[in-house]
Amino acid sequence: MRIATYHYQGRRQVGLVADDGMTVHPLALDADRAQRGVLPLVEDQAAGIAWPAPTGDTLALADVRLEAPLPLPRRNLFCVGRNYHAHAKELSGSVFRNNAANPQEWPIVFTKVPECVIGPADEVRLPGDTISAQIDYEAELAVVIGKAGRNIARADALSHVFGYTIVNDITARDVQMRHQQWDLGKSFDTFCPMGPWIVSADALDGTQTRVRCWVNGELRQDAQTTDLIFDIPTLIETCSRGITLYPGDVIATGTPAGVGMGFTPPRYLKTGDTVRIEIDGIGTLENSFS
């Protein structure tokens, strides 16, 4: 099942996307609740409340504007750094070599503010060279929590997953390095494209899928989630240690090798660039930079 948030006839709506990805069937979600995108449905499912029924005619996706499935997440996104073996290796000789815990012991976890989330076709605003001239892309599979829990055991973790989506964890590398803590360099306005929708956990095994990223048509990143250093159950277990995870929380699982910083010389983003991310079983997230 694919659940999308979209804009049609002047208002935000939520609907079910057909398996062929060509149409969406609106759900009878009132306008106030639809402002939160798919989040009310995640919360309803956790509470055992039946979803509103599909209503009206199906719509061609070409006739709507897709938005982030969670246009304003309930709180900061949990994000994981250097969680693919090859990506950790490509940054091992960079300025980050001493800026991490031992990646064989604990995941590196930071956050992005919810206000930086934008939709799958929205423009990313570059901040200007006086603020940052080192803007980088990071293609990531994101987990959407569907059932609350604290101190979740690894063996039970996948039962807490509602579904999966795609995020681009855009990063201002110079700001990230300057502050050592990563939140500021990760949280600029528009720095978290998300979408194109959420795929439910019963329709996708996020532990075994493929993540790819192209910049201006050039393939830069290509990896399997089986290559994660810390797998999805471990990330859920870790993020819930002493912290209650709630329905709608998002965990971005890390990016593969091939980021702009990993090239010699680095290949940072500039005005006019386009970044396209595809994850098998989910779809495509594509954004231009201006």
Q: What is the pTM of this model?
A: 0.95
Residues 223 and 84: beta-carbon distance below 8 Å: yes
Give residue 87's pLDDT. Answer: 67
Under the phi-then-psi rule, with left for phi > 0, alpha for psi from -120 to 50, and beta for the rest, what region is 95? alpha
Buried b (16+ CB within 10 A) or exposed e, 162-184: bbbbbbbbbbbbbbbbeeeebee
What are the tokens at 216? 């201006």
Portions of the chain given CATH number 3.10.330: 2-67
pLDDT tens track, the chain, 290 positions: 999 999 999 999 999 999 999 999 999 999 999 999 999 999 999 999 999 999 999 999 999 999 999 999 999 999 999 999 876 677 766 555 555 445 568 999 999 999 999 999 899 999 999 999 999 999 999 999 999 999 999 999 999 999 999 999 999 999 998 887 789 999 999 999 999 999 999 999 999 999 999 999 999 999 999 999 999 999 999 999 999 999 999 999 999 999 999 999 999 999 999 999 999 999 999 999 99
- Residue 182 confidence (pLDDT): 87
Superfamily of domain 77-288: Fumarylacetoacetase-like, C-terminal domain (3.90.850.10)
SS3 state at 25: strand
Phi, psi dihedrals of residue 152, rounded to the nearest 5° = -70, 130
Chain region(s) in the chain for CATH 3.90.850.10: 77-288
CATH entry, 2-67, from 1.10.10, 3.10.330, 3.30.70, 1.10.3470? 3.10.330
Q: Are the C-beta atoms of 259 and 166 separated by less than 8 Å?
A: no
